[in-house]
Amino acid sequence: MARPTARKELIGQSSDPRVPVSMTVNGERVEREVSPRMLLSDFIRHELRLTGTHVGCEHGVCGCCTVIIDGKAGRSCLAFAVQADGADIRTIESVAAPDGSLHPVQQAFRECHGLQCGYCTPGFVMSIVDYLEDNPDPDLSEDAIREVLSGNLCRCTGYKNIVAAFRRSAELMRGSR
Partner 1 sequence: MKPALFAYVAPQSVEEALELLASDEMARPLAGGQSLIPTMNFRIAAPSALVDLRRIGALNGHAVEGDVIRVGAMTRQRDLERDEAVQRANPLIAEVLGNVAHIVIRNRGTVGGSIAHADAAAELPCMLVATGGTVVARRAGGERTIAAEDFFLFHMTTALEAVELLTEVRIPALPPHTGYAFQEVARRHGDYALAGVCALVTLKDGVCSAVRLAACGVASKPTRLAEAEAALLGAPPEGEALARAAEAARDYATAADDRQASTDYRRDLASALVRRTVTKAADRARERA
Q: Which residue ranges make up the site for partner 1 (CB under 8 A)?
A: 14-17, 19, 35-37, 39, 42, 58-60, 63, 66, 69, 72-75, 77-80, 82-83, 85, 127, 130-131, 146-148, 150-152
> Which is nearer to partner 1, 25 or 79 (by Cβ)?
79
Instruction: Please provide the distance, in angstroms rounded to a whole number, between the alpha carbons at the two ends of the chain.
Output: 68
Smallest Cα–Cα separation from 93: which of 162, 159, 58, 44?
Answer: 44
Q: Supply the minimum distance, in Å, between the C-beta of residue 11 and partner 1.
A: 10
Q: Supply the minimum distance, in Å, between the C-beta of residue 122 and partner 1.
A: 13
Smallest Cα–Cα separation from 105: which of 128, 73, 130, 71?
Answer: 128
Q: Supply the minimum distance, in Å, between the C-beta of residue 175 and partner 1.
A: 24
Instruction: Determine the Cα–Cα distance for residues 77 and 34; give it in Å rounded to an integer.
Output: 15
Task: Answer whether 122's CB lies under 8 Å from 54's CB.
Answer: yes
> Which is nearer to partner 1, 50 or 64 (by Cβ)?
64
> Which is nearer to partner 1, 158 or 175 (by Cβ)?
158
Instruction: Determine the Cα–Cα distance for residues 139 and 156; give it in Å rounded to an integer.
Output: 26
> Which is nearer to partner 1, 38 or 48 (by Cβ)?
38
Instruction: Determine the Cα–Cα distance for residues 141 and 19; give it in Å rounded to an integer.
Output: 46
Instruction: Determine the Cα–Cα distance for residues 122 and 48; give it in Å rounded to an integer.
Output: 17
Q: Supply the minimum distance, in Å, between the C-beta of residue 107 and partner 1.
A: 22
- Interaxial angle between packed helices 121-134 and 160-175, expressed in degrees from 0 to 180 and rounded to the nearest 10: 40
> Which is nearer to partner 1, 63 or 104 (by Cβ)?
63
Q: Supply the minimum distance, in Å, between the C-beta of residue 98 and partner 1.
A: 27
